[in-house]
A and B are shown apart, each in its own frame.
Chain A
Amino acid sequence: MKPVYLRPKSLTGTVTHYCPGCTHGIAHRLVAEIIDELDMQGKTIGVASVGCSVFAYNYFDVDFQQAAHGRAPAVATGIKRVHPDKVVFAYQGDGDLASIGAAEIVHAAARRENITVIFLNNAIYGMTGGQMAPTTLPGQKTTTSPFGRDTAGQGYPLRMSELLSTVEGAYYIARCSLHNAANIARAKRAIRQAFSNQIQGKGFSMVELLSTCPTNWRMTPGKALEWVEKEMIPVYPLGEFKIGEGE
């Protein structure tokens, strides 16, 4: 009998703490599949951020460092500078990357730091219980925007992929979505590209993944996937925003 679906070697067997319908699990699996396919398991060091993915190291079967809130690109920089021949990736959420860690991600990109960043954007703070994120949509209700995000006082969503694509140092920037199979397949190709870039020494690569948070969005998993497609994608268009040229 030929198995058609196995757990990637780069994932441990630990059952995740993620909520039903959360796309973190899909994102983890895609990253692990790529690490396997590139045969990098023994050479990869991950950086976990603060947020729901704080325990990512329980699920990946590779060396890991847990970083302070927002600082994952700085920690990844430190690791990569010690081990330029290893694969270093940071796994960050939107509160971590787009809010408290906005400076770190911009400057890691500016330095063309040869790391890979997986950026989960679900438009809300998940772990702390559903507060407004820098990526929260206008009008979206959260526990700190209970009447819906009012742009007059609470500002506008930050489009990090667009922003980072203006940074000369950034090599590869793409935004994908995890709301259906076709998009998951595209996301996997982008993640492969982002890791391959690093192995080839091309520099800073980030893949933004539009993700769900059914629990804090107060939706069923099915509704949440629909909401990504109908509400998020119009604000966060998909595509490759930057593909670096030359060496």
Chain B
Amino acid sequence: MNHRIIMAGFGGQGVMLIGTLLTYSGMREGKKVSWLPSYGPEMRGGTANCAVCVSDRPIASPVVTEPSAVIAMNLPSFDKFSKILVTGGSLIINSNLVNVENIREDIKPYRIPANDEAVNLGSERVANMICLGGLLGVEGIVSIDTVIEALPEVIQERYHHLLDLNEEALRCGYEMVQEMK
């Protein structure tokens, strides 16, 4: 296995957090991992993104130029990263913010209304977890149970009252993609 994933969205949508969560979970499962954020001025407005690698082999480059999967939580992220996804790669789309008809035919898109589902669960802020759940449902990478166990270690303590909500959101995204596969 050699997963090379880009997670992208507006600053504040929590893409860095789900990237960290996946990386941490990969480490917990004994895999080689790396996490590389975008940084500097590109963090101010526009899109924030991080590159996550989870592999059986040592990670060569933490820079992901040809991702095997992409989470696009907003339109600029979709525009930027759907182009570089490898043929056959998985594209998790937050369809509430990415309303596009034409998507490359050589990739596998999964449209998830993450914002709506998050609001249904109780807070728009867990849209990121729904997308991560979707990614896990499609790509595997690590077991969802590992990710749920890692939640309290990755999420800051002052948000621990939201752990259950985050878990629900992960499972929600995970289930949603099962029907789309």
User: Are any A and B Cβ atoms less than 8 Å apart in their complex?
Assistant: no
Interface residues of B (CB under 8 A from A): none
